[in-house]
Chains A and B, each alone.
Chain A
Amino acid sequence: MKSISFRRLSALCRKETWQILRDPSSNLIAFVLPVVMMFIFGYGINLDSTAVHIGLVLEDTSPEARHFADNLYGSPYFIVHAAETQAEVGRALTEGRVRGFVVVPVDFAEKLKQPTGTAPLLVVTDGSEPNTANFVQNYVIAAWTGWMQQRASERGELPPPGISIEPRFWFNPSAESRNFLIPGSITIIMTVIGALLTSLVVAREWERGTMEALLSSPVTRTELLLSKLLPYYVLGIVSLFLCVGVAALMMHVPFRGSLLILWGIGSLFLASSLGLGLLLSTVLRNQFVAAQAALNAAFLPAMMLSGFLFEIRSMPAVIQGATYLIPARYFVTALQTLFQAGNVAPILLHSGMFLVFAGSFFIGLTALKTRRRLE
C-alpha cells in the first residue's frame, strides 16, 4: 500500500466538509432530519395508553361494587362510561366508542365473601387493537388487585393469598415508551446520516464528472476512501452526542452508561453504516438509485427489524433469523442497554463484536470496489 499524504487527505476532507455545509439536500439530511425525527419519536409517537375509553356495567349495586367502580372512575388510565346493559356497552365497543368494558356481575358482593373465589369480574377488550386491549386488561387487573389490597388493609386483614399480580418493570420503572423509543430513534438517525448521506456522495462525483478529475490527479485509493469516511464519521458522532444530549437533558430519558463506551459503540455502528452507504454509492454510481437502495438496505431494516418498534421475539422464525444480520439490531440493543441498564459488559461486547465485523465487511468491500480507473 502506498503511503497516505496528509496534505491530500486533508484537502479532500476540507472539500467534503464544504460540500456538506453548502449543499441544501445534505444539510437537510444531516441537520434538519435528525431534529425532526427526535421530536417525532420523542413526542409524536407514544406507545403508552394514557386514558382509554371503557364502558362499565354495574349489575350489582352493593356498597362493595360501587366502591370498586369508584376506584375505576378515579383511575388516570380510564375514562369510564357507565351503561345499563351489556348489550348497550357491546354496541359501543362495536362502534369503537370504547376500547373495552368491565361488567360487575349481580353476584359480585356474594363472591367476594367466599375466601377462595376467583375475581368476579368480566373484562371484554377490543382485540382488533391488541396493544390497547393488553393495556385495558392489565390496567383493569392492576386496578382490581389494588382495590383488593386497599380493602384488606382497611379491614385490617392480610391481603388475600391467591394469585396477586404485581407488575414491576425493571430498567424502565415508569414503563414509558419514550425511554426505549429514543435509543431506537437515535439508531435511525445514525443510519440516515451514515448510509443515506454517504450513498449520495460518491455517486455525485461520478454524475458531475468530478471523479474523473480526481482520478487523473495523484490521489490514492485509500485517500479517496478515507476522505469519504472521515467527514461523515465526525458528522455522525457529533449528531450522536447531540441526540443523546437532547434525550437526556430535554426529554429526561435516563442515561446510565458511560459516554466513552457510547462513543466506541457509536463509532463501530457508524463504520458499518457509512460502509454500506459508500458501497452502494460506489457500485451504483447514480445518486437516485443509490439513495433508494440505501433506504431499502439500511433505513427500513433499521426501522422494522432492529427491535426498536416491533418486538423481535414475536416475529416469524425466518425473519427473526434475518434480524441477526442487521447491524442496527445490535446498536439498538447496545443503546437501550446504555440508556436504561448501564454498562452491562456481556451485551455490549456481543453487540460490539458484531458491529466490528459488519463495519469491516462493508468498508472492505467498498475498498475492493473502489477503482483507480473508470471501469
Chain B
Amino acid sequence: MSDSLVILDSVRKTFSHSVKPALEGVSAVLKPGQITGLVGPDGAGKTTLIRLMAGLLAPTSGSISVDHCDPIRDADQLRAFIGYMPQKFGLYEDLSVIENLELHADLRALMGEERVTTFNRLLAFTDLTRFTSRLAGKLSGGMKQKLGLACALLGRPRLLLLDEPSVGVDPISRRELWKMVHELIAKGMTVVWSTAYLDEAELCAEVILMNDGQLIFSGKPADLTQRIHDRSLQIRQITGNRRQLLARALRRPEVSDGVIQGHAVRLVLREGVDRPNLNELDAGDEAELVPVAPRFEDAFIEALGGGPGGDSVLAQSLSPVLGDEDIVVEAVALTKRFGDFTATDQVNFEVKRGEIFGLLGPNGAGKSTTFRMMCGLLTPTSGTARVMGIDLKTSGSEARQRLGYMAQKFSLYSNLTIEQNLKFFSGVYGLRGAWQKTVMAEMIEVFRLQPYLGTTPDTLPLGFKQRLALACAVMHQPAILFLDEPTSGVDPVTRREFWTHINGIVEKGVTVMVTTHFMDEAEYCDRIALVFRGKIIAAGSPDQLKEQIASPQNPDPSMEDAFISLVQQHASDVSI
C-alpha cells in the first residue's frame, strides 16, 4: 500500500462566470487511513476541491489522481469506492430516514442479507434506529447530518468526502460526528473533512489550509502551530480597559496579531523579537505575560502575514455617545411562539451602557428571533423588550431611530452603487440635507471609497464590503448597535478587522448587541447569554462561564467545552 491515496498536482480551476480562478495551482498529497482537514474561510475553494476529487467537476489544468484513478476518465471506477456527503447533506427531505437509505442502497447495489446488516449497523452507529420512519425534513440539524453520513457510507467507501459537515449543527452533535469519524478511521477508511471552523483543524491528522483559492499550508496542523510555538502569549490580570490595551499592543512593531480572550488579551509576536514591555503598554501593575499553547487560527493569520492593525478609522470619525441611562437594553420574560413552536421562551437579560453583549448558540436556538424582537422587527407573543427605556411595542419607531442594525451577510443593495447605498441608508435613518452630505463625505473619506463610488458592492473586496455595511449602520450615530451573525462566512483576518471597529465603536460609548454561533467569538464580549432551544441556559462573562465548568481534568476549558457542559447540565436539570 502506498502512502498517498489522493495526489493533487498544480490543480487549477476557473469558472466561466468569474474572472478569478477558484483554485490557483493547488498541489498536495492525502495519505490513506487518516482524516485530512480541508480548512479555510468561505470562498477559499474547499468545495471546488472536494467536487474535483469526487469527479463532479473537471480541472481546468493540472491533474488529480484518486487511488490511481483519474476522477473524470475513470469515473465509474471512482464512484464504486468513494462516499460523498455534499453541503446540506444531500437528503430527500420528503423521504423518510429508511427510504433515503433504501434509495442509496439501490443505487449502490447493496442487496439481500448484506443490505439488512448494513442498515442495522449504520442505524445503530448513527443512533437513528428510533427514527427510521420520520421524514428527513423533520430531523434536527444533527440528525440530518448523521443520516447524510449514513447514506454516504452505504457503499462501504474507502474514501469519504465530507463537505462542511459541521455547518448548522450544534456543538454537541458536532462532537458526536467527530467521534463517529474517528471510529471509521480506526477501520481503515480515509476521510476528507472540509470546514470553515479553524479550531476543527487541530482534530485532523493533516490539513490542507486554503485561502482565496490558494494553498497556504499542507501537513500536520502541529507543524503549522509549531511555527509560532514560543510567540503565543497572553496578558493576564489586566487592570484598566483591555480593549484599549489591545489597540495599544497592536500598534507595537513586535506584535503581529492580537485578540481579546475574556478578561485577557492574546498576542502573537513577530519572529525573533523581544516580548513587549508591559509597563509601556500600560497594562497595570498586576499584569503578567504568560506563554500559552499556540492555536491553529493564530498560525493561519501568521501564515497570511499577520493580522490587521488595532485602530478603527470608523470609530475615530464617530462622536462620543452621551446619555445617562445605565441599562440601555432590557428583555423581560420575552416569549415568541410560532404556532405551537416556542422560538423564544421567557428570556430575561439586561445590557449596560457601553457593553458588548453576545447571544451565543447553535443555529436554530432562537438567537435571531430574540434579536429581532429587541430591535422591533418582530412583535413578542408576551413579555417586554425595552431599548433606552422605550417599550418597542408602544413606540417602536422612536426606539428604532436610536439604534443601528446590521443584518447577516452585510445587507447592502447589490444593484445600487456605493454612493446610492450610503445615501439610502443615511436617508432611512432620517439624515437630511447638509448634515447628510457632511456625514457621507466623512464616511467616503474615512474608508477611501472615492474611487468606488460609482461601482456596486459586489465588485468590492469582502473587507471593504464589511466596512461599508458597518458604516451604513452607524452613520446616524446610534446609541445601540445590533449585529446579527456579523462574521459568519468571513475569513479570520476580516473578522479581526471587524472586531477592531466594534471595539473602537464601543469605546465611544455605543452599546453593542451581537449574535454568533462561533464559540470563540464570544471571547470578545463583555457578557454573553447562552441560548439553547429558545431558553437562556446561562449568562455571565466568558471567563465566569468557563470557570463554572473548570475541573481538574480540564483546568482551562474552551468556550465550546463550557457550552456543551452547560447544555448537558441544563438538560439533566430539566429531566429531573
A and B from one assembly?
yes
B99 pairs with A209, CB closer than 8 A:
no
B183 at the interface (CB under 8 A from A): no
Q: Residue among B55, B95, B106 with the most chain A CB within 10 A?
A: B106
B54 pairs with A208, CB closer than 8 A:
no
Q: How far is the CB of B247 from chain A (nearest CB, A)?
A: 43
B57 pairs with A374, CB closer than 8 A:
yes
B94 at the interface (CB under 8 A from A): yes
Indicate whether A19 sits within 8 Å of B106 (C-beta atoms), given known contacts A209-B90, A212-B86.
Answer: no
A19 pairs with B94, CB closer than 8 A:
yes
A219 pairs with B94, CB closer than 8 A:
no
Interface stretch among A7-15, A164-172, A335-343?
A7-15
Give the nearest-CB partner of B102 in chain A: A11
Chain A, interface residues (CB within 8 Å), range: 20 to 34
Indicate whether A213 sits within 8 Å of B151 (C-beta atoms), given known contacts A374-B56, A374-B57, A375-B57.
Answer: yes
- Restricting to B149-165, which residues have a CB under 8 Å from any CB of A? 151-152, 155
Indicate whether A210 sits within 8 Å of B107 (C-beta atoms), given known contacts A218-B76, A373-B57, A374-B56.
Answer: no
Contact with A along B92-115 (1 / 0, CB 8 A): 111100010011101111010000
Cα A210 to Cα B103 in complex, Å, equals: 12
Chief secondary structure at chain A's binding surface? helix
B94 pairs with A23, CB closer than 8 A:
yes
A374 pairs with B103, CB closer than 8 A:
no
Q: How far is the CB of B311 from chain A (nearest CB, A)?
A: 42
Indicate whether A216 sits within 8 Å of B108 (C-beta atoms), given known contacts A11-B102, A15-B92, A209-B88.
Answer: no
- Restricting to B53-93, which residues have a CB under 8 Å from any CB of A? 54-58, 72, 75-76, 79-80, 82, 84-93
Cα A210 to Cα B147 in complex, Å, equals: 13
A213 proximity list for chain B (CB < 8 A): 84-86, 90-91, 104, 151-152
CB-contact partner of A209 in B79, B80, B87, B94, under 8 A: B87
A155 at the interface (CB under 8 A from B): no
CB-contact partner of B79 in A19, A212, A216, under 8 A: A216
A217 at the interface (CB under 8 A from B): yes
B99 pairs with A18, CB closer than 8 A:
yes
A210 proximity list for chain B (CB < 8 A): 90-92
- Restricting to A180-214, which residues have a CB under 8 Å from any CB of B? 208-210, 212-214
Q: Residue among B57, B80, B86 with the most chain A CB within 10 A?
A: B86
Cα A253 to Cα B259 in complex, Å, equals: 80
Q: How far is the CB of B572 from chain A (nearest CB, A)?
A: 36
Give the nearest-CB partner of A15 in chain B: B103
A15 pairs with B95, CB closer than 8 A:
yes
A218 pairs with B106, CB closer than 8 A:
no
Contact with B along A204-242 (1 / 0, CB 8 A): 000011101111111100000000000000000000000
B51 at the interface (CB under 8 A from A): yes
A372 at the interface (CB under 8 A from B): yes
A216 proximity list for chain B (CB < 8 A): 54-56, 79, 82, 84, 86
Cα A209 to Cα B152 in complex, Å, equals: 14
CB-contact partner of B94 in A14, A18, A218, under 8 A: A18
Number of A-B contacts (CB under 8 A): 87
Cα A5 to Cα B72 in complex, Å, equals: 21
B99 pairs with A212, CB closer than 8 A:
no
Q: How far is the CB of B230 from chain A (nearest CB, A)?
A: 44
Indicate whether A372 sits within 8 Å of B106 (C-beta atoms), given known contacts A19-B95, A208-B88, A210-B90.
Answer: no
Q: Residue among B92, B93, B151 with the most chain A CB within 10 A?
A: B92
Q: How far is the CB of B71 from chain A (nearest CB, A)?
A: 10
B94 pairs with A212, CB closer than 8 A:
no
Chief secondary structure at chain B's binding surface? mixed
Cα A216 to Cα B86 in complex, Å, equals: 10
CB-contact partner of B109 in A7, A23, A209, under 8 A: A7
Indicate whether A217 sits within 8 Å of B104 (C-beta atoms), given known contacts A7-B109, A374-B56.
Answer: yes
Chain B, interface residues (CB within 8 Å), range: 35 or more
A113 at the interface (CB under 8 A from B): no
Cα A15 to Cα B93 in complex, Å, equals: 11
A22 at the interface (CB under 8 A from B): yes
Give the nearest-CB partner of B99 in chain A: A18
Q: Residue among B58, B94, B135 with the most chain A CB within 10 A?
A: B94
Contact with B along A4-37 (1 / 0, CB 8 A): 0101101110110011001100000000000000
B152 proximity list for chain A (CB < 8 A): 213
Cα A214 to Cα B85 in complex, Å, equals: 10
Cα A15 to Cα B103 in complex, Å, equals: 7
Q: How far is the CB of B139 from chain A (nearest CB, A)?
A: 14
A19 pairs with B87, CB closer than 8 A:
no
B95 pairs with A217, CB closer than 8 A:
no
Give the nearest-CB partner of B84 in chain A: A216
A19 proximity list for chain B (CB < 8 A): 92, 94-95
B106 pairs with A8, CB closer than 8 A:
yes
Cα A209 to Cα B99 in complex, Å, equals: 17
Cα A12 to Cα B107 in complex, Å, equals: 8
A212 proximity list for chain B (CB < 8 A): 51, 56, 84, 86, 90
A11 pairs with B92, CB closer than 8 A:
no
A219 pairs with B107, CB closer than 8 A:
yes
Contact with B along A76-117 (1 / 0, CB 8 A): 000000000000000000000000000000000000000000
Cα A213 to Cα B108 in complex, Å, equals: 12
Give the nearest-CB partner of B163 in chain A: A212
B87 proximity list for chain A (CB < 8 A): 209
B55 proximity list for chain A (CB < 8 A): 216, 373
Cα A255 to Cα B533 in complex, Å, equals: 61
A218 proximity list for chain B (CB < 8 A): 76, 79-80, 107-109
Give the nearest-CB partner of A375 in chain B: B57
Q: How far is the CB of B147 from chain A (nearest CB, A)?
A: 11
Q: Which residues of A contact B (CB under 8 A)?
A: 5, 7-8, 10-12, 14-15, 18-19, 22-23, 208-210, 212-219, 372-375
Q: A19-B95, A212-B86, A375-B58 are in contact. List 18 more A-B contacts (CB 8 A).
A: A8-B107, A15-B95, A208-B92, A209-B89, A212-B84, A213-B84, A213-B90, A213-B151, A213-B152, A216-B55, A216-B79, A217-B79, A218-B76, A218-B79, A218-B108, A218-B109, A373-B58, A374-B51
Can you list the 7 inter-chain pairs with the closest CB atoms, starting with the nearest?
A213-B90, A11-B106, A212-B86, A216-B84, A209-B88, A22-B94, A217-B107
Task: Name 26 A/B residue pairs within 8 A (Cβ), A-sorted.
Answer: A7-B111, A8-B106, A12-B107, A14-B103, A15-B92, A15-B95, A19-B92, A19-B95, A22-B95, A22-B135, A23-B94, A208-B90, A209-B89, A210-B90, A210-B92, A213-B85, A213-B91, A215-B56, A217-B104, A217-B107, A218-B79, A218-B107, A373-B58, A374-B56, A375-B15, A375-B58
